[in-house]
Amino acid sequence: MSRLRLQKFLSQAGICSRREGEVHIATGRVRVNGCVVTTLGTKIDPDSDVVELDGRVVAGQGERIYIALHKPAGYVTSCRQADEKLVLDLVPIPQRIYPVGRLDKDSTGLLLLTNDGRLHQRLSHPSFDHEKEYEVTVERPMAEGALAHMARGLPMMGRRTRPARLRRITARRFRIVLQEGRNRQVRRMVRKVGGRVIMLKRIRVANIRLGKLPEGAWRHLTRTERRHLLAGIDDP
C-alpha cells in the first residue's frame, strides 16, 4: 500500500476527521512505532507502521460501509451543524460514516453514506458522469416548452447546465436525470423557466435506486450494487 499522511490514516480508520486528526497529532496524542509524532504531514505505511492514539493501537480502515438512506425533509447532510437534525442521526452504527454528496434540507430521497473516501471522490468528480434522477412536483402545470428548455441546458452560475433527460408524469410532476450536481440545481432550473418546486425527491444515484425504502429508513448496499458502484476503483 502507498504511504498515507498520518491524519488521513486516522480519518480512514474511522477515528476522527482529518482536521481532528491534525489536532491529535499536534497535541502529542499520536505515536508511530512507539514514538510521539507532532509533525503534520508525516507519512506512514499502513501495512508496516504501528499507529497509536492515546496508547491504543489504531487498526486500518477495516470493513468498508456502504449505506442507502431515504432522507426525510427537515434533515441536513452536514456532519455537524448546530440546532439542526442530521442525517447521521438516522443511521446509529458504531463506524464513522459520512454523506456522499448532498440533498438540501427541504428535499427527500436517496442519500449514500460511507466510510470509503474513494467513493466520495468518484461520485464527486465530474469526469465519472454518473447519473442522478429526481422526481419533481411543481406549484403549477409546466408547459412542454419549459421542460424542453431544461433538457437542452440553461445558463446558471456562470456556465450552462449539461443536457438532461426529462419525462413528464402529470401536468405538475416530472422526472429529470442529471449528470452533474450543482448546488440546488433542479430548483434553480425550474425557477429559470418560471416555475417553483414544492417537492423534490431523489430516486436514483448511478445504479442505486431508492425503491420502496421508507422515509427515514436505511439499508446496506447489496454486493451487486457495490460492485457496479465501485467498478474501476482499485482494490474495491
Domain with CATH 3.30.70.1560 in the chain: 131-205
Closest to 88 measured CA to CA, from 119, 125, 115? 115
pLDDT for position 60: 64
pLDDT of residue 234: 47
- Please state the rounded mean pLDDT for residues 108-112: 97
pLDDT: which is higher, 49 or 142: 142
Out of 104, 106, 116, 235, the active site residue is 104
Residue limits of CATH 3.30.70.580 in the chain: 66-126+208-229
C-alpha cell read off for 100: 456522499
Residue 25 CB coordination number (10 Å): 23
- pLDDT grade, residue 125 (50/70/90)? low
Mean predicted confidence (pLDDT) in 96-106: 86
pLDDT category of residue 127 using cuts at 50, 70 and 90: low
Cβ–Cβ contacts within 10 Å for residue 106, how many?
14
User: Given this model, what pLDDT does residue 27 score?
Assistant: 94
Q: What is the pLDDT of residues 192-220, one digit of tens each?
A: 999 999 999 999 999 999 999 999 999 99
**Catalytic residue status for 47:** no
Q: Which of 19-23, 53-57, 148-152, 194-198 has the lowest mean pLDDT?
A: 53-57
Specify the CATH number of the domain 4-57.
3.10.290.10
d(CA 98, CA 117): 9
Comma-separated ranges of CATH 3.10.290.10 domains in the chain: 4-57
Which superfamily is assigned to 131-205 in CATH? Alpha-L RNA-binding motif (3.30.70.1560)
Fold for domain 66-126+208-229? Alpha-Beta Plaits (3.30.70)
123, 230 contact by CB (below 8 A): no
